[in-house]
Amino acid sequence: FLDEVEFYEAGLMSRVASPAKRITIMNVSPFTIDATFEGEFALTVKTSNFDMLNSKDCEYVFQTDDSKGSKFFLQVNSLLISMLVDTAPTTKLIKLTTALEFSYERSIEQSSYASSPGYIGCGNQSIVFRNENYNDYELSGYNETFVVSGNSIHHISFSGDLNNDDFAPVWFYRSTVDIEPIKLKGSPLSHTNSWQYELDTNYFSLFWDGKFWKNATFLIRYD
**65-115: pLDDT as tens digits:** 888 888 899 999 888 899 998 887 777 667 888 999 889 999 999 999 999
Q: What is the CA 168 to chain-centroid distance, rounded?
A: 19
Q: Write down the domain spans for the chain.
A: 2-99, 105-222
**For residues 139 and 77, what is the distance between their CA atoms, to the nearest angstrom?**
9
Q: Which of 1-15, 114-128, 172-186 has the highest mean pLDDT?
A: 172-186
Tell me which amino acid residue 156 is: I
Domain spanning 2-99, CATH class: mainly beta
pLDDT at 142 over 70: no
Spatial contact of 82 and 22, defined as CB atoms under 8 Å apart: yes
The CATH class that applies to domain 105-222 reads mainly beta
- State the pTM of this model: 0.89
| 2-99 against 105-222: fold identical | yes
Identify the CA nearest to 125 among candidates 219, 2, 12.
219
